[in-house]
Chains A and B, each alone.
Chain A
Amino acid sequence: MRILAVCGMGIGTSVLLKANAEKAVRELGLDAEVEVADIGTARGAAATAGLVLTSGELAAELGDVDIPVVVVANFMDAEEIRRAIAEGTGR
């Protein structure tokens, strides 16, 4: 499965989110790759992904996509990100 870490610009926040999400994926024992996308390319990328992680504002901007979108408030909180991925993947 591909997990998208989405931020406004794709160079800062989502890179941090990706680093923490990769750690969470390992801890949950999931077979998943985490990729970074900016808000402009995220809708297209979501077509072939299984889960989107992003902030509240950007989730609203992203609108309806066919895959689960889970909001993360604290991008540095390993526990919150683990819960978000577990929720989004049905674990």
Chain B
Amino acid sequence: MADTSLSTLLPADAIVTGIAAEDWRAAIRAAGELLVAGGAATSDYIGQMQAAVDEYGPYIVIAPGLALAHARPSEAVLHTGMSWAGLARPVAFGHPQNDPVELVIGLAAVDHDGHSGALSRLARMLGDPERLRELKKMREPRAIHEAITEYERGE
């Protein structure tokens, strides 16, 4: 199993903060557009990510303030990649406990396994509430990418 690093799957160019999004669809679109810009997916994938929430509900809001926007592997996925869309103002996804969302992580995956190591590291990294709070406050994409790289190096 290829174990690509989190800092490779989530390059600094795929990190944007201060995004103005009026609702959850716009927030997912922002994370999706970053995946498209980075060549991980075609624009069809954005609608697939929104449809996943329509179909399965807002459970992609996996922790307070944090959504993991993703859809199934499909033809719209060109290669496995992630994006980081920090929102200027929190938006509601309709999650009973974890609303409102301030950060949307976009995920496009070609299969079920190639990204699991990187995603697990992301889980451990963001699973520390203190660190999650600090990262959500950071505005500078390079600084966020550097923090992720540092974390991976230390793990």
Contact = CB atoms under 8 A, between A and B. Distances in A.
A41 to B, nearest CB: 11
B39 interface: no
Given A8-B52, A9-B52, A55 B59 contact: yes
B12 interface: no
Nearest to B132: A76
Given A36-B112, A76-B62, A77-B63, A12 B127 contact: no
Q: How large is the interface on B (under 10, 10 to 19, 20 to 34, 35 or more residues)?
A: 20 to 34
Nearest to A8: B56
Interface centre among A16, A36, A78 (most CB of B within 10 A): A16
B127 A13 contact: no
A25 interface: no
B147 interface: no
Nearest to A9: B72
A13 B60 contact: yes
Contact of B71 (A9, A16, A36, A56): A9
Contacts of B66: 76
Interface of B: 52, 55-60, 62-64, 66, 68, 70-73, 96-98, 107, 109, 112, 115-116, 119-120, 122-124, 126-127, 132
